[in-house]
Amino acid sequence: MANTTVDPLLEDITGPTPGQMLRRRVFGHQGLIIGAVVVAVLLVIALLAPVLAPHDPYVQNLAMRMKPPVFLGGTWEHPLGTDHLGRDYLSRLIYGARVSLLIGVVAATISGAIGTAMGVAAGYFGGRVDAVVTFLVNVRLAMPVVLVALAVVAILGGSLTVVIVVLGLLLWDRFAVVMRASTRQVRRREYVAAAQAIGASTPRILLTEIMPNVLNNLIVVVTLEMAHAILLEATLSFLGLGVQPPTPSWGLMVSEGKNMMLFEPWLVLIPGAVLFVLVLAINLMGDGLRDVTAPENRS
């Protein structure tokens, strides 16, 4: 107890460390926490699908068709009821999470890689590179995504792989636009000039000086495009051109329930609600990550 006197001046200077500040910002951001928790829970559910699903999502029982969920008078045998072929709805939802998340993550990764490479190159080098990239982005923006996806899938046939690749190759435009703009801002900064002055190579500058400072924008676009890809998959599957039955997909479930929408609306509402929650959670998480990592919030 003797040496507890602290210099009041010193206390002023030390304050919380940057790590503590980051943690404070993360945990103080409600949207980020809610979004991250929901996405994490869905991710765990998707990964543990075989353990969690009460039934095999592919086994049909025609005598047990369209049994209502438990909150509409059904039984706990099928907590969310059964679909038009008597398959357990909860199990199909759980397996459907795998399809949705897989498509979201892989499609966003493919398009992110393409778009970031193009955007950073255009923003950093400018000139002809910029002109070419801008032209490509314009060409891409002139094509309606859903229409092109529909056409390609109609020609190649719908399957999980085709849908992922098509979406991955189509959704890079926003990455390119955002990365180009952020890179242009950053490349005139003093630290980039400093790195150039000490003779750092271009790849080194791009990786260690540019990338870390545009990463926060990248994260937002990744989440946006993930949500976009998930919705597009649902749209394609709804139109019968996405994931093919019997693979469980939320869009396909909405499409299959559509015919009975007037009489058994839960067939559409349940997968629709889950899709809504996932897309909302991803967007909340993206917004939160941007707020937390944005340079202006660091000081």
Q: Where along the sequence are the contacts to another protein (CB under 8 A)?
A: 58, 60, 62-63, 65-66, 84-86, 157-159, 231, 234-235, 238, 240, 244-246, 250-251, 254, 256, 258-263, 268, 272, 275-276
- Measure the CA–CA gap between 101 and 164, rounded to whole angstroms: 11
Nearest distance, CB of residue 187 and another protein, angstroms: 39
Q: Select 87 or 140, whichever has its Cβ closest to another protein.
A: 87
Nearest distance, CB of residue 105 and another protein, angstroms: 19
- Four-CA torsion 273, 270, 99, 233, nearest 10 degrees: -60
Residues 82/64, Cβ–Cβ less than 8 Å: yes
Q: Select 111 or 237, whichever has its Cβ closest to another protein.
A: 237
- Measure the CA–CA gap between 3 and 124, rounded to whole angstroms: 55
In one-letter notation, the amino acid at residue 261 is M
Nearest distance, CB of residue 222 and another protein, angstroms: 21
Q: Select 216 or 249, whichever has its Cβ closest to another protein.
A: 249
Q: In this structure, what are the phi and psi dihedrals at residue 82, rounded to the nearest 5 degrees?
A: -130, 160
Q: Select 24 or 56, whichever has its Cβ closest to another protein.
A: 56
Six token digits for residue 17: 């460390």
Nearest distance, CB of residue 115 and another protein, angstroms: 24
Q: Select 133 or 284, whichever has its Cβ closest to another protein.
A: 284
Q: What phi-psi label fits residue 82: left (phi over 0), alpha (psi between -120 and 50 degrees) or beta?
A: beta
Nearest distance, CB of residue 148 and another protein, angstroms: 18
Report how far apart, in Å, the C-alpha atoms of 270 and of each of 79, 199, 254 are.
12, 59, 8
Cα–Cα nearest to 80, from 112, 57, 51, 99: 57
Nearest distance, CB of residue 293 and another protein, angstroms: 30
- Measure the CA–CA gap between 38 and 55, rounded to whole angstroms: 23
Q: Select 35 or 158, whichever has its Cβ closest to another protein.
A: 158
Buried-state track 107-119, b at ≥16 Cβ within 10 A, e below 16: bbebbbebbbbbb
Q: Select 119 or 272, whichever has its Cβ closest to another protein.
A: 272
* Start-to-end C-alpha separation, the chain: 35
Q: Select 261 or 294, whichever has its Cβ closest to another protein.
A: 261
CA 248 to chain centre: 19
Nearest distance, CB of residue 164 and another protein, angstroms: 17
**How many C-beta atoms lie closer than 10 Å to residue 236's C-beta?**
25
- Measure the CA–CA gap between 264 and 240, rounded to whole angstroms: 21
Nearest distance, CB of residue 271 and another protein, angstroms: 8
